[in-house]
Structure 1
C-alpha cells in the first residue's frame, strides 16, 4: 500500500480540521483542506479582543503558514453541498473529493428573534472587534447597562458554549474596575436554564454564584428568551432585561450545509457517528465502508448528560481519525474512540486571574488560580499557535 495513492479531503479549518490535517501528514497521507476562512482562529483566547488585551492578528493564524509547516494542500472556498457517499464536496469555486472524507466545518447556531440586536464572542471572528467597538463606546460615555449570556438547545444539550460568556463578562468587569468606573455600570449575566454552568459540577456551580456576588454582577436565570431588542432581552413572561449592549452565545445546531447533503442527522441536525467518528450511514443500500468521518462541532456526540463540546475533544477526535484511517489502510483491526476521553477541561479567565475547571464521570471541581491563572491561559495561547506552526515541540496528548 502506497500512502501517496490515498488522498484525504478535510472540510474545515478549525481545531478539528487543522489537527486532522497535521496528523495525517505526519503519517504520510496527502491531504486537501478546504476552509471558508484563510486563517485558523483560536477562539478560546479571543475573549481578550473585546477588552483590548489581545489584537485580532494575535488570535488568527494564517492557514498558508500552517500549510507551509505541514505540507497539506489548501483551498479557500465555501462548501455548499456534501455528497458523502461519493466522498465529494461542492463549493462555490469547485468540486473536491478524496478516498476519505473528514467533515469538520463546525455547527450552525440556534436562531432567535432579534438576532441583529446582539453580538457573539463565539460567532464570526469579526464580531469580536464589533464587541470591542460597542464596549469602547460605552466606556467613552462613562456608564451603561451590559448584559451577557448564552443559550441552550434541548435537542442536543452538548452543543453549548457557556464558558466564553462568563470569561468575557469577568474581563469586562476587570477592565472597568481598572479604569475606576465599574460603579457606573450595571453588569448582568443571563441564561434560559435555571442553573447555567451546572454541567461543570456542584462545586463549580456554587463557586460561580460566589463570583457573581463578589463582583456585583446581577443574574437572570430560568426564563426562556422570547426575543432580543435594541435595548434589551424580552423573556417568555414578557418581562424585560434592559441592556445598552448585549453579548449572547446561541447554542449550536446542525450546519446549514448538512441539510443539503446525504448525511444521517440527529434531531438537532448534527451528524450521527460511532465511537470511532465514522459517519453512521444506512449501510443497507451500499454494504461497503464509506470511509467518511465527522468530528468536532459537526458531530452528534454521545456520553453523559454533562458532556460538552470543547476544542481538546475535537482534537482528540481528529487524532483518532488519523489513526483509524491509517489502521484501515494498513489492514489493522485496532481503532481509537473518543468516548473514553470525554471530560470538561478549561481555564476560565477573569482578566486578573482564572479558575481551573474539570469534570468527568467522578465529579467536577473548580480551583481558583489568582493572577497565575491568567498568565497560564496566555501561555496556552502562545503554545497553541507556535506548536501548530511547528516552531516548538508539542506536548504529548495536546
Structure 2
C-alpha cells in the first residue's frame, strides 16, 4: 500500500487525509497542533458566544474515526524532490507528499501591538480579554482591519475582519454601551471587499453608515503602535485596541526547501495541484502536491482563498494520487471551482455572499443567517467526526 505524507492539520490537510483513507492509502498527517481549528466560527470567541473548545476538534478523534496516523511535530525542512521531510523530532519519507501547512503572514512594523482573528488560535481569547477590559473601563476606541499583499492578492482575509467588527458592534449594543465606543474599520486598499462585487461594496457601505462605524481606507500602513496605527502620510488612527489580519505570504519553512515558489513565497502548482519544478522549461513532477493557503492559485483577479476551495483541492488530490498510482491519465482540477462563497455573520443576522465570473451578489439574511452559520459550524464538526453524513460538495 502506497504511503502518503500530509503536512498540516487544517481544512486542506484534514480533508486530504479523510479522502485518501477512503481510497485505501496509508496516510500520515503531521501537524504542529493537536487539534483541527474551525477558523470560520472562531469569530464568536471575541464576543463570548463561542470558546476555543467549541471551535476545535482534537486530531486524535479524527484519527480514530478515519484511521490515519497522526504525528504532532513541527516541520523544519522540506526536500520535495526526495519526498523527504525533516521535523523537530524526526525525519519522514513517502511515495506521495501533500503540503497543506497554510501560509505565513506579511510582516508589519509593530505587529506586537495588534491581535488577529486569523492568526494563531490562542489570539482569539486574547481579543475577548481586551474588549472585556475596555467594557470594564467604560469605553474606548477600537480599530479593526486587514491588509493586502501586492505580490499575491488572493491570500487576503477580509471577511473575518468584517464579521468580528459587526459582532463586536452587536455585543456592545446588547451590553448597552455601544455609544461609549468609537469603532473604525481600516484597510490600505481604496475599496476593501471589492472582490465580492459592486453590489456587496454598496451594501457594506450601508452597513457602516447604519452601524455608525468609521472608515479609514486607501492609505498604506507604516506601523502599528500601542495606541494606534500610523499611515504612510504620517496621519494617525487612534486605537485603544487593534485587531488586524495581515495578508498571507509564503510559509517560513518553504525557504528551507527546494520547492518552486512564486514572488510571494507560495508554492507553484498546476491545475491538478501538482508542484511544478522548472515551470518555464520542461515541467518535472515528483508526486508532490500543494493545496490550500500553501499554494499559489491561478484564476481571475478577484480570486480568494477560502476553506471550501482548500477542500476541493484536497479531494482532487486524493483522486489524482489514486489515478497516478493506477496509471490513469484522468485528473481533476481546481480552477473550474474558483468562486467566493460565504455567509458573512453580523451577530444579529448575516449576508450570503457569492462571486463568480458572471458577477457577485450579496443577499441579507436577517436573524436566520446567524443561525445558518451556527448550523454550518455544527455540521463541519460532526460530519468530519463521522457522526452525520457528509453532504456532497460540502
Q: TM-score, normalised by structure 2?
A: 0.99
| Residue matched to 1:332 | 328
What is the number of equivalent residue pairs in this alignment?
A: 394
Measured in 1, the distance between the counterparts of 2:280 and 2:307 equals 34
Q: Secondary structure of 1:54's partner? A: coil
Q: Aligned partners of 1:101, 1:346: CA distance in 2, in Å?
A: 30
Q: Secondary structure at the match of 1:61?
A: strand
Tell me if 1:8 matches 2:4: yes
2:146 equivalent in structure 1: 150
1:12 CA displacement: 0.2
Deviations 1:69-106 (Å, cap 9, x if unpaired)?
00000000000100001111110000111100000000
Using the alignment, how far apart are the partners of 2:360 and 2:282 within structure 1? Answer: 44
- Aligned-partner SS, 1:365: strand
Gap change, CA 1:198 and 1:28, over 3 Å in 2: same
Measure the CA separation in 2 of the matches of 1:242 and 1:37. Answer: 35
**Aligned match of 2:297:** 301
1:344 and 2:340 are equivalent in the alignment: yes
Moved over 2 A (4+): 282-289
Map of 1:150-229 to 2, 5 A cutoff? 150-229=146-225
Pairwise CA distance, 1:286: 10
Distance 1:260 1:111 in 2: 18
RMSD of aligned Cα (Å): 1.2
> In 2, distance between residues paired with 1:372 and 1:269?
40
5+ residue gaps in structure 2? none
In structure 2, distance between residues paired with 1:97 and 1:141 = 55
TM-superposed deviation, 1:289: 3.6
1:69 and 2:65 aligned: yes
Separation in structure 2 between the aligned mates of residue 12 and residue 94 of structure 1, nearest angstrom: 16
Do structure 1's residue 358 and structure 2's residue 382 form an aligned pair? Answer: no
- How far apart are residue 332 of structure 1 and its match? 1.1
Q: Which runs of 5+ in 1 are unaligned?
A: none
Alpha-carbon distance in 2 for matches of 1:136, 1:339: 43
Whole-Å Cα distance in 2 between the matches of residues 42 and 7 of structure 1?
A: 27
| Cα drift, residue 282 of structure 1 | 2.3
Task: Specify whether residues 285 and 204 from structure 1 end up closer, same or farther in structure 2 by C-alpha distance, changes over 3 A only.
Answer: closer
* Correspondence for 1:91 among 87, 91, 99: 87
- Name the CA distance, whole Å, in 2 between partners of 1:370 and 1:285: 53
Look up the SS of the partner of 1:209 in the other structure: helix
- C-alpha separation in 1, matches of 2:212 and 2:161: 16
**TM-score, normalising length: structure 1:** 0.98
C-alpha separation in 1, matches of 2:192 and 2:83? 40
Contact 2:249 2:265 in 1 (8 A): yes
1:141: Cα distance to partner?
1.1
| Equivalent residue number for residue 314 of structure 2 | 318
**Equivalent-residue separation in structure 1 for 2:326 and 2:259 (angstroms):** 27
Indicate the residue corresponding to 1:392 in structure 2. 388
Match of 1:226, SS state, is strand
Query: Secondary structure in 1 aligned to 2:29?
Result: strand
